[in-house]
Amino acid sequence: MHELFCSCIIPTVGRATLSRAVESVLSQSIKGADFEIFIVNDSGKSLPEQAWPDSEKVRVINTNQVERSVARNTGAACANGRFLHFLDDDDWLAPDAYRYLRELSQSSHAKWLYGITQVVDRRSRPLIQLRHNLKGNCFVQAMAGEWIPLQASLIERNAFYDIGGFNPLLKGPEDIDLLRRFLLDEELEEAPNLVAYVKMGSAGSTTDYVQHPLSSRQAREAILGAPNCFRRMNSSAVNSYWRGRMTRVYLTSALWNLQRRRYFTFASRLIYAAACAGIVNAGLLSKGFWQAVSKPYASITFARGIQNAGIRV
Amino acid sequence: MRSNIFASYVIPTIGRPSLDQSIISILTQRFPEAEFEVIVVNDSGKELGKAEWQSSTRVQTINTNQCERSFARNTGAAIAKGRFLAFVDDDDWILPDSLSYFWNLVQQKQAAMYYGGYRFVDPTGNTLNEYYPDESGNCFIRFMAGEWQPLQATLIEINAFRAVGGFLPLNILRGGDEDVDLLRRISLKHDIEGVRELIATIRIDRSGSTTNYANLQEQSRQSRDLILNAADAFSRLHRSALDRRGSSAYWHGRLVWIYLGSVGWNFRQRKIFTAFSRLAYATLGLFASFRYWLTLKFWHGATRPHHAEGWLAVE
């Protein structure tokens, strides 16, 4: 019997595009290894008629309208593969995605593997490609706002359990939160190949964009309270720009806590911010540091993607 | 999905032979008033042996892959269709009228969590002890002080369970105490009602237990400290202490004790600022209790460890 390389988990609210997602996984070319698919039907209704070929690789779990994170955790609890792959019902995989990622798993010990994402619009027309260039410990980059789509990622199953899976209390950025909590102890590896097609845009999305900023901030606060957070961020801040970002993370957190009258946490964050600036010392004179401290983060990955696609903003 | 299912019993199992008895104790409930279901979460990583209950339309089995208790229970809860959830372990069983008692209580009293009496037995089935509910309403401070209530004898409203995010993963709680942690987080927001009837029988056999008792203190401390971070924790604790009529002095003392305990814990974790924040709350608690300063009970509460009633007797 082949190794069960990965378990693909597709939570669905019953969109018609589910078939395309399932078929894109079923048609993966991957030699010497196997995979399984869990469709987590959270729609509260029966699924639309199955349009993909019958396969014993596919299993359906019916959850009772529990929302995305619980649905994904449910799929993950049932999974048997070495890696977990979370796909959405309106996205799909590139034909050789699992083959590329499996090759990467044979040369790397990282527990989160990912490849290039092609972002498409609501009508599935290509927009930009996301090439993240994030490898190893990229904690400060994730804390600043970098994000890797789950659709293009494989996460080792036990590492996922160790961090407790998705946080069901977050409304929105649960994928970024998962990446951050993962990076507190673990590392990333990137494949130079296109692996996933991901839809973007708020229309028809299940993401709660209203709750998003508050939820994102609360999740970040919980991570800043972790005992190894400062050390981990410091070792991923490789130049004065990223030390500036790190300082900004603590400064914005200080302000947020002050607004909520959490004075002790405010003071603690302020001291950490000062410590970041202290570590930089000579870097305090660099332009990069002050740019990073003074401006909100704009994703380098997106900027690069937009530039390469020749889109003028 | 609207359904007329009153309760969903979730039973995570590691494949103990006593599972059959647990399931049968639910399937044989004397309860004609509404529907109920049993969700067996097989986390053993193996196939379960053939059994008669597998043909029951009330039972659903879901296979998880040795992913730990909290994940397994949350998985069962995610597929549950009942208005209420109950969690029974594969070595415990419930009494024939449990659901009926709960049903009557739910018709009479409004709460997010209902509980009843429970009996401890040794591995051979001999009764060790029995406990019955004696409190209702805002019981937050009791759970924060170390009181315990077995899930086996508790019914939890499904929306309240979901609103707190279900069971916390064991790693976050340093290995366990996730059951009391859930009760604490629910009672932070909601009230509780009890019925003075025997609901469940719990087998105590520490040699075969999946619970890690070695660092129970640390697990409990971690759980309580995470909850003390909630913005409304202090006011809910204070309200709960005020509501303990007749023993309010003692519980005000406990309020101070809870925060003082957290001061020490945070100092040891080198979370100096959190320690100072807790100290400020302990001081606030002290001032909020000024009318009890002359009572002995207050100082007992504030200076001595709490002796939980329903649990320590079997230590």
Q: Where are the domains of chain A?
A: 3-212, 237-301
Distance from CA of B199 to the nearest CA of A (A): 27
Q: Give the phi and the psi of residue A287 in degrees, each rounded to 5.
A: -65, -40
How far apart are alpha carbons A259 and A256 in whole angstroms?
A: 5
**Max CA separation in chain A (angstroms):** 64
Q: Give the phi and the psi of residue B158 in degrees, each rounded to 5.
A: -65, -35
Amino acid residing at A145:
G
Nearest to A144 by CA among A284, A2, A299: A299
Cross-chain CB nearest to A64 (options B1, B272, B277): B1
How far apart are alpha carbons A90 and A202 in whole angstroms?
A: 13
Q: How many CB pairs under 8 A join A and B?
A: 84
B189 touches chain A (CB under 8 A): no
**With 0-12 CB in 10 A as exposed, 13-18 as middle and 19+ as buried, what is A271?**
middle
Delimit the CATH 3.90.550.10 region(s) of chain B.
5-214
Coil vs helix vs strand at A126: strand
- What is the reported pLDDT for B3? 67
How far apart are alpha carbons A50 and A15 in whole angstroms?
A: 12
Q: What residues of chain B lie within 8 A of the CB of A260, using their CB?
A: 231
Cross-chain CB nearest to B74 (options A73, A157, A162): A73
Cross-chain CB nearest to A71 (options B78, B81, B274): B78
Which of the two residues, B187 and A306, has the higher pLDDT score? B187
Mutate to test the interface with A, among B8, B40, B65 (most CBs of A within 10 A): B65
- What is the reported pLDDT for A282? 62
Q: Residue A209: is its pLDDT beyond 70? A: no
How far apart are alpha carbons B114 and B134 in whole angstroms?
A: 12
Cross-chain CB nearest to A77 (options B75, B80, B272): B75
Mutate to test the interface with B, among A40, A78, A186 (most CBs of B within 10 A): A78
Cross-chain CB nearest to B165 (options A161, A168, A265): A168
- Tokens 């359906």 belong to A60
Task: Indicate yes or no: CB of A265 within 8 angstroms of CB of B71.
Answer: no
Coil vs helix vs strand at A257: helix
Tell which CATH architecture fits domain A3-212: Alpha-Beta Complex (3.90)
Angle between helices A212-224 and A240-259 (to 10 degrees): 110
Nearest-Cα residue of chain B relative to residue A164: B169
Q: What residues of chain B lie within 8 A of the CB of A263, using their CB?
A: 277
Coil vs helix vs strand at B261: helix
Nearest to A78 by CA among A37, A45, A112: A37
Q: Residue A203: is its pLDDT beyond 60? A: no
How far apart are alpha carbons A240 and A233 in whole angstroms?
A: 13
pLDDT tens for each residue of chain B, 315 residues long: 446 899 999 999 988 888 999 999 999 999 998 999 999 999 988 888 888 888 899 999 999 998 888 999 999 999 999 999 999 998 889 999 999 999 999 999 999 999 999 999 888 888 888 998 888 999 999 999 988 889 999 999 999 999 999 999 888 888 878 899 999 999 999 999 999 999 999 888 766 565 666 677 888 889 999 999 988 999 999 999 999 888 999 999 999 999 999 999 999 988 899 999 999 999 999 999 999 999 999 999 988 888 777 654 443
Model pTM?
A: 0.90
Q: What residues of chain A lie within 8 A of the CB of B79, using their CB?
A: 61-64, 74
Nearest to A113 by CA among A141, A132, A140: A132
Angle between helices B248-268 and B233-243 (to 10 degrees): 150
B230 touches chain A (CB under 8 A): no
**DSSP string of A274-308, one letter each residue:** HHHHHHHGGGGGSHHHHHHHHS----HHHHHHHHH
Distance from CA of A62 to the nearest CA of B (A): 6
Residue A47's pLDDT band (boundaries 50, 70, 90)? confident
Lowest mean pLDDT across A66-80, A240-254, B14-28, B169-183: B169-183
Nearest-Cα residue of chain A relative to residue B72: A77
Q: Does domain B5-214 match CATH 3.90.1720.10?
A: no
How far apart are alpha carbons B122 and B314 in whole angstroms?
A: 10
Q: Where are the alpha helices (DSSP H) in A40-196?
A: 68-78, 97-107, 139-144, 157-162, 174-183
Rounded to the nearest 10°, the torsion over CA A269, A271, A276, A277 is: 120
Task: Indicate yes or no: CB of A169 within 8 angstroms of CB of B269.
Answer: no
Angle between helices B248-268 and B272-288 (to 10 degrees): 170
Nearest-Cα residue of chain B relative to residue A158: B67
Phi-psi region of B82 (alpha: psi -120 to 50; beta: other; left: phi over 0): beta
B234 touches chain A (CB under 8 A): no
Other Cβ atoms less than 10 A from the Cβ of B303: the count is 11
B65 touches chain A (CB under 8 A): yes
Q: Residue A175: is its pLDDT beyond 50? A: yes
